[in-house]
Amino acid sequence: MEPTPADDEPQAAAVPGTVPPLVERYLEHVRVEKRLAARTVELYRLDLVRLTEAALAAGVALPEVQNHHIRRWVAQMHSGGRSARGIALILSGWRGFYRWLGREALVAANPVQDVRAPRAARLLPKALGVDEAVQLASHHQAPDDPWLEARDAAMVELLYGCGLRVGELVGLDVKASVGAERGGRGWIDLQAAEVHVLGKGGKRRSVPLGGAARLALARWLAVRGAPGAEGTSSEAAALFPGRHGTRLTAQSVWQRLRRRSQLAGLATPVHPHMLRHSFASHLLQSSGDLRAVQELLGHASITSTQIYTRLDFQHLARAYDAAHPRAKIRGGGSGGQGEPGG
């Protein structure tokens, strides 16, 4: 089937916001044959208006668009500040349009087929400053229930002092057992000053227990007892049970930690993974040993751990800005007093 002249001319979209008859035919196709919702069809239209205007500016008809055109337009959208997700959605709309043109025998190849949106920037994990983390870990809520206070203080020490994931924390038993081994649970060993956890991918690892964590755990175990109702053997062995004797859930830990961070006076509500990030960032700042941090976190790949080197650089940059006598000097033309680097 050959396109009509009106279909094939880029001048057909000279009016901003309009599309040529060829695009209208495609939109009718997705509306009727695919039975897409009106809002979805309108979003397709907006994407194809963008394509039509780009083709018009390049002086090419839509069926003549090539792969290099698409790549150039993607680069322009990216440099213009459009998000990676937004570009991916636009490309999806364009790809569907050219797939339809191929079925109609109007193009020989899909120029969008192998074009991908730029990768979204990986957000840095949120970590507390050292002072904030110590403030939270040192917090003692005197009027609180002593049982809850001892339990929550021990949980904070394990999350920040050992870098555990919340799932690893709630999966801990009081001690090693055959049931823990077979049930895929971890445990603590105060005598050896270690916590044994079952991490992602079913991989076990051992993490040292620092002095503060050992002290907090000893205080907790002294009051833990057998709380509330009877549970299963797994629940009875849980290091951190709730008041009814059942193993604490991850959601409960989130809620307790959020409450505790607010009571400690922190400006930002804290969640468990933030303490894991803080553990990694502060350890890297102190030791500089990326491989050791990888092992303690249980990362299968060093790539996952390297994100914390960016946090460490941010820390160094802030320290420089705050302390270095040259940090506050701003360049202002050719008459600067800067010295050559060496």
Q: Which pLDDT value is given to residue 196? A: 92
Query: What domains are there in the chain, each with its CATH number?
Result: 5-103 (no CATH), 130-323 (1.10.443.10)
pLDDT (0 to 100) of residue 180 = 82
pLDDT for position 314: 54
- What's phi and psi for 173, nearest 5 deg? -100, 165
Contact 136, 156 (CB under 8 A): yes
pLDDT of residue 327: 52
Structure token pair of residue 41:
């069809």
Buried b (16+ CB within 10 A) or exposed e, 135-171: ebbebeeeeeeeeebbbbbbbbbbbbbbbbbbebbbb
Picking from 63, 69, 72, the residue whose alpha carbon sits closest to that of residue 109 is 63
Catalytic residues: 165, 200, 273, 276, 299, 308
Q: pLDDT: is 147 or 302 the higher one?
A: 147
Summarised one tens digit per residue, pLDDT across range 154-182 is 999 999 988 899 999 999 999 888 888 88
Closest CA to 244 of 253, 236, 256: 236
User: What spatial distance separates the first Cα and last Cα of the chain, rounded to whole Å?
Assistant: 69
Select, from the ranges 79-88, 234-243, 255-264, 314-323, the one with the highest average predicted confidence (pLDDT): 255-264
DSSP helix/strand/coil, 332? coil
Q: What are the two backbone dihedrals, phi and then psi, of residue 2, each rounded to the nearest 5 degrees?
A: -95, 145
pLDDT tens readout for residues 280-312:
888 877 777 778 878 888 877 777 776 666 655
Each residue's pLDDT tens digit, 22-57? 999 999 998 888 887 888 889 999 999 999 999 999
- The long-range contacts involving 123-127, CB below 8 angstroms and separated by at least 24 positions, are 124/307, 124/310, 124/311, 124/314, 125/273, 125/274, 125/277, 125/281, 125/307, 125/308, 125/311, 126/268, 126/274, 126/277, 127/274, 127/277, 127/278, 127/280, 127/281, 127/282, 127/311
CA torsion sign for 12, 18, 22, 23 is: positive
